[in-house]
Amino acid sequence: QVQLVESGGGLVQPGGSLRLSCAASGNIFSINTMGWYRQGPGKERELVATITRGGSTNYADSVKGRFTISRDDAKNTMYLQMDSLKPEDAAVYYCNAQINLWSYWGQGTQVTVSS
């Protein structure tokens, strides 16, 4: 059984920073593309950023220059460094990973941006 567990969400003031983590565990042979998605109140889930096994990254226009995605394959963990946070970044953030040719989702972690 494979699991993804996110952590690092919380309440932050506008302009602040948070670092999200997504740890994969279980019977893992390979992890290919990993990504972060988010879903705000009344909105559809949207792509935030992805990172391939080779380290190539892709970002939504709304977060370019402010968010940085990375991964540590030795730890089966992905990160999302979020800087210069805005109120519109508030959402539940989900991680996704292609593990052993299957797609897995984490349970989500809440990010609230408010003064």
Mean residue pLDDT across the chain: 97
**pLDDT given at position 107:** 97
**pLDDT given at position 59:** 98
Q: pLDDT band at 48, cuts 50/70/90?
A: very high
Residues near 65 by beta carbon (within 8 Å), at least 6 away in sequence? none
Mean pLDDT along residues 64-91:
97
- What secondary structure does DSSP assign to the chain, as a single string? --EEEEE--EEE-TT--EEEEEEEESS-S-EEEEEEEEE-TTS--EEEEEE-TT--EEE-TTTTTTEEEEEETTTTEEEEEE-S--GGG-EEEEEEEEETTEEEE---EEEEE--
